[in-house]
Amino acid sequence: MPLFSDLHPLGQRIWLDNLTRGHIRDGRLAQLVAQGVTGITSNPTIFHKAVSETADYTAQLEQLRKSEADPERRYEALVSDDIRGACDLLKPVFINSGGDDGYVSWEVAPRFAHDENMTVAEAKRLHALIGRDNLLIKVPGTEAGRRAFERLTADGIRVNVTLLFSLHHVVRTFEAYIRGAQQWLEKGGNALQLKAVASLFLSRVDTLVDRRLDEIGTPQALALRGKTAVAVAKLAYQRYLDFFKGEEYFSHLRAHKVRPQYLLWASSGTKNPAYSDLLYVEPLIGSDTINTLPDKTLAALADHGEIGPTLHLGFPGAEDDLVQLEALGLSPTAIGEELQVEGVRLFTESYDKLIAAMQ
């Protein structure tokens, strides 16, 4: 039975994709950190579930209804306590890693996904509200979000770029980070203050692509089911190596000790029961990466996960899988755009439901 720390020598960190007050209060989060979990991500869907399905927030929410008129500020007051608590619990990881690890992510309201200026303003406001060095502000990888990310990096704000679904999204995000980091250095900023991750969503890719492949229905199409997301991830890692380990793009920044922008595997819980419950874990273990897992997938990894360096394997096969998709009329880039639009919509709906629950 592997510990999550068993992945550390392979260069991968495991984060929990579920921040709740219950996990903090009952000691589960502390236990997971002791086993090698080194970070936490969250999103509006996770918080809505925690608030609506548990009694952990009831008493504080009742008090906030009396003292705070704005439902959105009530939400922020509730959740900011959880964010600070998780940041404090992970602070030793942050310190011991020299700022490389031990982060908690909190998302800018998704209604600003296409508003660059508001994303920047809200990211800075939330950063100041929490007041913890090991906070990552989540911004979407939309065009406006990427521009905001570049500006935030140029101002020394640590960011998790979320809702990435394609190689195009990943490459544009890497480029924005490099531009922002260069601006930060030119301002005289401390290189070690910068930290960014690029969250590539996986299971949603296969869910959509598999549905399209089923509609095509040919043997060639059906043979590609369940392969697209892992292929995209492996090729994204190849792009990471090109950008951050090669000499063309990042060598100057690397010489000044700027950290690369790590890839983070998100949406890594398997949705199709016909597939391995570790489909988005076992083939994607490699250095300079993070995998953020929901509770069920985290438990599966601890129970029967096979640990080994796998991410660097199968680059040619991954490329061939995407070429075959293109030949069938399924563009991974177009699919990524469709999924990003849908992702923004779903997170906005969850956020709106969360704010409605604050009434």
Lowest mean pLDDT among 16-20, 91-95, 236-240: 16-20
Q: Residue 80: what pLDDT?
A: 94
Q: Output the six-digit token pair for 331.
A: 């563009």
Which range among 8-17, 53-62, 123-132, 202-211 shows the weakest confidence by mean pLDDT? 53-62
Q: Residue 136: in which H helix or E strand, if any?
A: strand 135-140
CATH fold of 4-357, please?
TIM Barrel (3.20.20)
Average of pLDDT values for 117-136? 98
Report how far residue 13's alpha carbon sits from residue 315's, in angstroms, rounded to the nearest whole number: 22
What digits encode the pLDDT tens for the residues 296-313? 999 999 999 999 999 999
Catalytically annotated residues: 138
Residues 6+ apart with CB under 8 A from 87: 104, 130, 132, 134, 135
Model pLDDT, residue 42: 87
Q: What is the pLDDT of residue 16?
A: 97
Helix (H) or strand (E) holding 14: strand 12-16
Count helices and strands (H / E) in the chain: 15, 8
Q: Span 236-265, mean pLDDT? A: 97
Domain boundaries of the chain, sorted by first residue: 4-357
pTM: 0.96
